Structure formats: C-alpha cells, structure tokens
Structure 1
Amino acid sequence: MNSTEMKNFADQIRYYTLKELNFMGYGHYGGSLSIVETLAVLYGNHLQASPETKDDLDRDFFVLSKGHAGPALYATLFLKGYIPEEWLYTLNQNGTSLPSHPDKNKTPGVDMTTGSLGQGISSATGIAYGNKIAGRENYTYCIVGDGELNEGQCWEAIQFAAHRQLDHFIVFIDDNKKQLDGYTTEICNPFDFETKFSAFGFHTLKVDGSSVEAINKAVEEAKIMTRKPIAIILDTVKGQGVPCIEEMYSNHHIRLDEKMREEIEVVTERIGTEIGVR
C-alpha cells in the first residue's frame, strides 16, 4: 500500500473499532484507538499472513500483548477477511467469538490468547525463538503497552530476546502516556523507553505513532537490521484520532453516557462518510 492507501485503511480500522464499541456502549476505547495506524501498516504492508495461510507455520505471527485493545484487532481482522462483519457487534457478549481480550481458540487470525499483561510479549518471544530454532525466516510482531511494561515479566522476555539475537522479532511499544489509573509518569515512571530497550540489547527506533509513513519506514528499517531484536517506540495519544476521547483524562475504559455517545457517534459518522461507508 502507498501512503494514501495506508491512511484509508487506518480510517477504516478506526471506523469499525468505534462501531463495535459504540454498539456495546462501553469498552477499551483509548488503547484500541492508539494502535490503529500500527495495525494498518502491519496488516496493510508487512504481515505475511492471510485467512488462507493462518495455520501455516511459515507465515508471520502477530501477538497483541495489550489484549484490552482487542476491538482494534477485530476490526482489522474483519477488513482482512478473517471474520464476518456481524461478529463485530457481538463483542464481549455471551457466546461471542470476539471476547473482550483476544482468544486464539475463538477467533480466526488471533495467534495468541492475551490479556494478562506481560504474558503476551513473553509468548511472542517464545514464538520468535521457536521459529529461529526451526530455521524459519518469518517475522514475529508484537504490540506491548507502555503501562504493561510495569510488569517485570516483560523485561525477562526482552532480555531473553536480546540474548538469543532474535532479529526477526519486532516489538512495538504503544507509548500513549496513560494506563488504567492515570498517566504512566505518575503511576510508575517508565523514564526513557529508547534508552531502556537499547540497554537491554535491542535495536531501538522512535516514531510518530499517528503517522503511517513513519511507522512503515521504521518497519522497513527494522527488517534490514541483524543480530538483535527491534523495538519501535510509538509516540501516540490515548484515544488517537477521536478528539473528544483524546481530551478525556480517564479514557482507558469508557462507559458511554448520552452526551459521550452523541459526540463519539458524530466522529464515527464523519469517518464513515470520508471512507464511503455508512
């Protein structure tokens, strides 16, 4: 995809993410919206996987370690043909195939069950190591949250990945500056992710996480690096692309009141009009 196509794909992902959450009336808006551009770049240009190859061991793997952002992944999987649209409107309901956090046993295209923070990046490291042992050249991609990196388990996995020189392992850090209870700097200051990942032995890049061009360039650069895993720090905003959510202090999990619903649905319809979907 070129830049225009990637931006359009991101708009589509944002639209359907909002649609499924609006239908439910509550959910993880903030952290879902902040990874939309990254998902557009990965599934639009880089992830070598499809509904037809979802069980092929030579495909690329993707692990959403911050599993609460599942709605954005589900919107992406719908747009890529893994699941039907009607599934989106069963999000987190009894009997659904789309639970609040991704489950590999329920949803086609989900490579790893996640939601217990810290375990996703650990599993992704294991996948990347297993692929290396098997002599495969496929990539393992993982998105981890900035608040999630409070978990010590994450850093055990990060150190292991560097020790094993997993150069086909690309980790995105969604640095949206907030976690469940407030700003990351107030809850447990993460300091500088670039410095930390470099110190742990990663090639490290930092990009504007709202720019599909910047993210795409970083992934292209990551793929030519060798002997180290790669960390791409995404400078994002929680609720990215929806101003009324961006401006909320507590926007990790939102339960819509009438005013919020009206504001968010106005933005949703505007995006739908722009991409030609109503």
Structure 2
Amino acid sequence: MLCGDSELAEGSVWEAAEHAGYEHLDNLTVIVDVNRLGQRGPTRHGHDLDAYARRFQAFDWHTIEIDGHDLDAIDRAYGEALSTKGQPTAILARTLKGKGVEGVQDREGLHGKPLPEADEAITELGGPRDIRVRVQEPPAARMLHSVHTGDFELPKWDKGEEVATRNAFGEALAALGTGRGDIVALDGEVGDSTRAEFFAKEHPDRYFECYIAEQQLVASAVGLAARGWVPYAATFAAFLTRAYDFIRMASISGSGINLVGSHAGVAIGQDGPSQMGLEDLAMMRAVHGSTVLYPCDANQTARLVGAMAGLEGVRYLRTSRGESPVIYAPDEEFPVGGSKLLRSSDRDRLTLVAAGVTVHEALAAADALEREGIRARVIDLYSVKPVDRAALRRAAEETGCLVTVEDHHPEGGIGDAVLEAFADGRPVPRLVRLAVRSMPGSASPDEQLHAAGIDAESIAAAGRLLVEEAVVP
C-alpha cells in the first residue's frame, strides 16, 4: 500500500496502524513517500524519517528507512518486508518531489500545478522515451462469493411482546449468519449494547472487534466487502458521525456495506445528548445511493436485517434502545421503499407520519384524537430512503393534512423526506413537522419525548391545531 507523508497527520491512519500491529498482519507492507511537501507547504516532520519510524514502531511495526530514488534499496526493502514475520512493515522512502527537474524539484507552492516548461522538463529527464515496464502481478487470491451454509429462519415474536429493536437486530443477524457463510459483523466496542454480540457468540470466527475506532470500523467493512463478504458494522448512531468521511468514500468507491446505529434519539433517556444520535438520518440520507431504514418493532427489524444483505450501496439501519410492543405479525413483508398504513378510514382528517419509536406515539395520539371525534390516518414510514412517495401523496390527497414526527433534529430527517415527495411542483399539503428542536438533557425516555414535543400528547395537540379543533386562548 502506498501513502504520502502529509496524510500521516490523519488520526484514521494511526487507527489502522494500531489495528494492523495488534493483529500482527505481516502480509501488509506500507510504502510512505516522505517528500516533505504538502499542498500548502512543508509537512510537520519534513524529511525526518526517524520521526515516522518511531510512530510506526510504537504500534509494533517493522520499519525500513531508504532513499526512495535508489532502485536497489527499494528492491532490498521489499525483500526484507516479505521475510518479516509477525509484524506489518512500513518502508519510509525519502524522496524529492519533482526530482530531476530543476524548476520544480523540492520546491514549495507547486502542488497540483502543471509544469511551467514541460518541454524543458522532458529534456532534463533525458528526452522522450518509449519504455514499457511490466510489473509483477500479485498472486491470485480467491474471491468469496455468496455462501449459503444451510437453512435458517429469522427470529419471530408474537404481537404484544415488548422487545427492543436492537435486540431484534442482534438475533436476526445471528440467524442470518447461520444461513449464510459470507455474513460478517464488526463492532466498535459496544457490541453488548448494539447486540452485535449475539452474532459473536454464534459465529466468533466472523466477528471483528475494531474497538473505539469508528473510522477503522467502516474502513474494515469496506475492505471485507471488497473481498466478497457481506459486512454489518454496528455502533451507536451518534458515533457514526466520526466515520462520515469513510462512509462517504464507501459510496464513491461503490462499496456495499451495512451500517447499524443503535441508541438513536432522545428516547435513550438518561444518557444525555452526547450519546443521542439526532443527526444520523440526515447524514445517511445525504450519502449517494444509500438506503435508510428505521423499524419500529422486532419483526419488522428482523425482516429488514435480512433484506439489507441483498441491497446495493451503503445501507443504514437505525435501532432503538428501549423495548417497544410488537405490532406486526411475523410473516409481514416490508419491501424497501414501502410504508405501512396502520390506521385508515374514509373519514380521516389528517395523517400522522412516523417511524421507529414515534410510530407507537402516533398510534396513541390517533386513539386519543378518535375519542374526540377526529379521525387520523397513521403511516409507518420505515423506509426513510427511498421513501414511499405514492403513499404520502395519496394520504395528502385524501386527508389534506400531514403531521410528521421524528426522534431526530428537524433538518434532513423524516420531515424533509416527506416534504421531498411533493417537490415535483404538485400542491404541498398543510404540514406540521414535529422533531427534536432543543438540546436534550438527562431524563427518562418518556420525559425526553414529552420535552421534545414528540410524544402522543404533543402529536395529538398538533393534530387538533391542524384541523382547527383546538381552543387557543
């Protein structure tokens, strides 16, 4: 692997270096081009090869320092790297950027710029040549293809059971791993909380602990996908913000990875805002070609975990910490891009659109409104991207009013996903968007939902106002 000296200022490089050293990856050789120049000027350590060597050695790497313009030294270094056992190797090659051309050699301010005198530079380098170098190809490596190792059945729960969707994720992933030998799981040292540990107990040889290094978590998932595996990388939804650069690059690279963010929203309760994923839906929706799913019960979660294995691109599943009632039958289907109509009548005056934990709040609000003579339709928008535009447009036409409710900041989440269904020039329905608009504190889940204005009471109040039934002093 080739990298530059400037990028060694990146923390993600050292996450990877520590991981490789810890795993004794002696089949990994990194060549660092130490040319001392970055984009705007000198790098932090310039040509101090020993400064880089000390850092790699601290992570148990074997290091070799060479003149990067000496072909014999390069060849010897490669041989030494191949013979090194139990450690990855870093070859630190001192070079001069633009070597051989006086006008640019080792000079600042020329990064990414064309040669000022290209013909003179060619002359300095020995004139036009017609040399073809055939490099030795790496040894052939077997690519893993989808392996089905046996029959399996996704877990099922009875209606009315109280189950956290994070638990359903863990059980479903373990079952999927039993049926498919190409499924792997990666953890950011929170597997006991995300429930990825359920997979670890059943399939320890396909479970990878990345510790608290979320960039490395996603990078490893991309690498495994490139080798034919189907990775599921899980951590807290809030912590995936640390890895967003790698998620973005996974999309650019055309990688197929599954990401799972648990402990989402204010509904996690007492842990407070540092642990609450309140930006994740927006973050994942913005990724090109992504799929964003947010289940509300255990059976829905299990089905979506299974479906994710067959999708393309970056797939994201949002799970919840607390238990919630199972509302769907075990044989219910949940196509990606779909939604579920949970309450409906020909007398509906508004539509409540929710996903995840707020589905249960929306159902309770609909019941409260019905007792007051106000019929409310309820849509479970479990597929946040792609969104079920047809269902939303039909609801708008038939009820005229929409209330979106989400355990997420208002920017980029379910409200925006719903609004985009009407971005083609058609009339936009009367719309109220309930979301987390203040900075949460530490409180119980019910108190958090109420304070954020996304509990059943708040939804019902918004519904009354929308249909002009509320008395406002």
TM-score (norm 2): 0.31
Higher helix fraction (1 or 2): 1
Question: Rg larger in 1 or in 2?
Answer: 2
TM-score (norm 1): 0.49
Higher strand fraction (1 or 2): 2
